Amino acid sequence: MFVASTYLVEDDHVQGAPHVDLIRRAQAQGLRCQTLHIQSLADGWETKPGRFKSGNGPLLALASARDALESDADVVLISGRDQLRTGYERDERASLMDIYDGVSIPEAYTRLTRAFFELHGWDLSSFRGLADALHQNYRRTAEARGLSVSERDNPKVTELLRRNDCANPNIDFVGEVVLANQTAVNTLGLDDSVQVTAVATASVDDGPAHVSQIAPYHHLRTVMDEVGLDRINPEDAVLELYTCFPIVPIAFCVNAGWSRDFQSTMSFFDNVEITVSGGMNLSRAPWNNPALRGLILTAERLRADGGVGVVHGNGGVGGLQGLAVLRAERGA
């Protein structure tokens, strides 16, 4: 499976379908085409046919595209759109994001953080240092991307989390990824395509009531094993870890074996760029679409420079996990 084409626009409303000409050209060549959608905030939390919800939705869509390309499709378009900045009133957006019966998403992740630290015997007082190191990690990447990273008020949101620790949904987003099999790549002359060499997803019961089941992250290690993450050196890879709250990349690095304890995790964050986007606070968080943006940015980086990339999906309070590995032998 190959990433044949990508499209990304943030904070600028786009009319029409940016890949319509490519899809028409594919159909004219007799290629079989399908479209999958990432659900918007307005679509709600119920699963709908051909649509994928949660922060792991783009990885579930990618896995579905892989299956289709191996059977009844040659080209699959994955499309995600959400106008979180301009499409909702503030109170309406907050109401739609209240998906855990009055337990806020930051509070749910605070509970998960406590469960993870207790499980690993870590002193919770070390959390602030790790969170601040993560923010600086995102800041370095965001500045390199030319994003505005001016300091703003950073009040407490929960007992552990401050505003800089939390995903910022103030964004309008349009993103598309076109996946193709080898037949379509050859037929359409898509010579600069980036290969998706592995994609895997797994889940456990999700929600605030299940943080003790989520915290060991056995399901995350399952997908790590399935995609062969142990064969990838993170210092040589393009990474897009999911960064909605600090515990997510912290748990990822520990379960990947990239760090073990507080000090080695701090060192990792100080030395390895863990996102290509700049993180979900500074680059902001288009609801179910951050991993779709990660796929786009990672593919674009690999198309230019070659190498290997890792994209992480994290849904709900971490009960849904996904990973994709992308490779390009050389820059385009």
Q: Look up the domain containing 293 and give its range.
A: 2-88+165-328
pLDDT at 256 (0 to 100): 98
pLDDT at 9 (0 to 100): 92
Residue 108 counted as domain residue: no
Residue 266 counted as domain residue: yes
- The number of folded domains in the chain is 1
pLDDT at 16 (0 to 100): 67
Residue 157 counted as domain residue: no
CB burial of 55-70 (b: ≥16 within 10 Å; e: otherwise) equals: bbbbbbbbbbbbebbe
Backbone Cα Rg of the chain: 19
Q: Running along the chain, 332 residues long, what does each successive block of 10 average in pLDDT?
A: 93 77 96 97 85 96 97 97 92 90 94 97 95 96 87 86 94 96 94 92 97 98 98 97 98 97 95 97 96 97 96 98 93 50
**Amino acid identity at 330:** R
pLDDT at 150 (0 to 100): 73
Structure tokens at 51: 């649509």
pLDDT at 17 (0 to 100): 73
3 state SS of 191: coil
pTM of the model: 0.95
For residue 32, give Cα distances in angstroms to 169, 181, 197, 258, 300. 35, 11, 22, 41, 25
Residue 205 counted as domain residue: yes
pLDDT at 44 (0 to 100): 84
For residue 40, give Cα distances in angstroms to 58, 93, 167, 179, 310. 12, 11, 16, 21, 24
Residue with tokens 């079989």: 32
SS (H, E, C) 101-116: CCCCHHHHHHHHHHHH
Residue 159 counted as domain residue: no
Number of other residues whose CB lies within 10 A of the CB of residue 86: 10
Looking at residue 50, which CATH number applies to its domain? 3.40.47.10
Residue 101 counted as domain residue: no
pLDDT at 15 (0 to 100): 65
Q: In terms of DSSP bridges, do strands 51-52 and 33-38 run parallel, antiparallel, or are they unpaired? A: parallel
Residue 23 counted as domain residue: yes
Structure tokens at 161: 């989390």
Residue 223 counted as domain residue: yes
